[in-house]
Amino acid sequence: MKLLAGNSNRPLAEAIAASLRVDLTKATVHRFADQEVFVEIHENVRGEDVFILQSTSYPANDNVMELLVMIDALRRASARRITAVIPYFGYARQDRKPGPRTPISAKLVANLLTTAGASRVLTMELHAGQIQGFFDIPVDNLFSTPLMVPDIVNNLGTEKLMIVSPDVGGVTRARGFAKRLDVGLAIIDKRRERAGVSEVMNVIGDVSGKRCILVDDIVDSGGTLCNAADALLKAGAVSVQAYVTHGVLSAGAVARVAASSLERLVITDSIRPTEAVRVTDKVRVLSVAQFMGEAISRISSESSVSSLFD
């Protein structure tokens, strides 16, 4: 097994390598003066099973291009199998046509990865599960429940706990949390007027006297979570926390969360935490290194990945 890291989330790549007790493959991944991506691999990878660790987070286009060039370099170096390990799959929210003359960019990125020479993809908590069908190569989509549920139990317990989906689209994910914790489920009825702006309309379910936990796959501007927290407290909830897999947290999102009625936001390091995340005491980061390392080990040894969720 060989592990190759891009520049998007080097600390996570190093943590995954440590969990597998494997050294990262020596390589140069840098930019020319005009910002063209240049990759040079300094070890022999002929006939090897190679895993490229790269989240396609901000700057998304640069990181996608880095990943594509690394795949091409490995293919031309005769690697036996190339697995793109993408903890956060950018462009996943563009999985359908929301209106006329709009792209399905998630499909385009899938095509690019396949054409570049990826043999398979390992990712985590895709925004929409059907994105797996955009690929003509195997895709393993890890869920964050085995990581987050024990954390909830250890830190919060389950007494008077209620899992809440911040919108109708996330009900399946929230139901999985509620089932594992054996607690109730509530839903926020949200109406979005335009991208990045949400308005909470109603709380479906009795949250009075409950400690609520909002669960979602992505937190970007933070507006949805903050509005949902206000609505839940207004409906009688005792407290509101949030567990979200991918902390995009663009622009002033961290400040917005810090000033909100959310008691705590828990995210993973699938995206490299910014300085704003590191200094605030309202955001806590869980590491996915051990979890993803185990999945990589199972793929390399041709054993079951799905049994991770049993």
Q: What is the CATH number of the domain that holds 73?
A: 3.40.50.2020
Q: For residue 115, what are the domain limits?
A: 2-143+290-305
38 and 127 fall within a common domain: yes
250-275 exposure pattern, b = at least 16 Cβ within 10 A, e = fewer: eeebbebbbebbbebbbbbbbbbbbe
Please report whether residue 206 resides in a domain: yes
Q: Is 222 annotated as a binding residue?
A: yes
Q: What is the pLDDT of residue 120?
A: 97
Look at residue 191 and give its three-state secondary structure.
strand
Please report whether residue 47 resides in a domain: yes
Please report whether residue 66 resides in a domain: yes
Nearest to 132 by CA among 89, 70, 83: 89
Please report whether residue 8 resides in a domain: yes
Nearest to 91 by CA among 49, 122, 61, 135: 61
Q: How many CB atoms lie within 10 A of CB 309?
A: 11
Counting the structural domains of the chain, the total is 2
**Euclidean distance between CA atoms 89 and 139, whole angstroms:** 12
Cα-flanking dihedrals φ and ψ of residue 165, to 5°? -90, 130
Look at residue 71 and give its three-state secondary structure.
helix
Which residue numbers are catalytic? 190
Please report whether residue 310 resides in a domain: no
Q: What is the pLDDT of residue 194?
A: 64
Q: Is 180 annotated as a binding residue?
A: no
277 and 296 fall within a common domain: no
138 preceded by cis ω (within 30°)? Answer: no
190 and 157 fall within a common domain: yes
Q: Is 35 annotated as a binding residue?
A: yes
230 and 282 fall within a common domain: yes
First to last CA, the chain: 26
68 and 194 fall within a common domain: no
Please report whether residue 124 resides in a domain: yes
132 and 174 fall within a common domain: no
186 and 139 fall within a common domain: no
Instruction: Check residue 28 and give left, alpha or beta (phi > 0: left; psi -120 to 50: alpha).
Output: beta
State pTM to two decimals.
0.93
179 and 128 fall within a common domain: no
Amino acid at 214: L
Look at residue 307 and give its three-state secondary structure.
helix
Q: Is 310 annotated as a binding residue?
A: no
**Euclidean distance between CA atoms 118 and 213, whole angstroms:** 37
Q: Which two tokens stand for residue 40?
A: 């040079």
182 and 268 fall within a common domain: yes
Q: Is 290 annotated as a binding residue?
A: no
CB 43 within 8 A of CB 37: no
The per-residue pLDDT string of the chain (310 residues; one tens digit each, 9 = 90 and over) reads: 999 999 999 999 999 999 999 999 999 999 999 999 999 999 999 999 999 999 999 999 999 999 999 999 999 999 999 999 999 999 999 999 989 999 999 999 999 999 999 999 999 999 998 999 999 999 999 999 999 999 999 999 999 999 999 988 899 999 999 999 999 999 998 776 666 565 667 899 999 999 999 999 999 999 889 999 999 999 999 999 999 999 999 989 999 999 999 999 999 999 999 999 999 999 999 999 999 999 999 999 999 999 988 7
137 and 9 fall within a common domain: yes
67 and 180 fall within a common domain: no
Please report whether residue 245 resides in a domain: yes
Place of tokens 């170096």: 77
Please report whether residue 256 resides in a domain: yes
Q: Is 206 annotated as a binding residue?
A: no
CB 244 within 8 A of CB 225: yes
178 and 166 fall within a common domain: yes
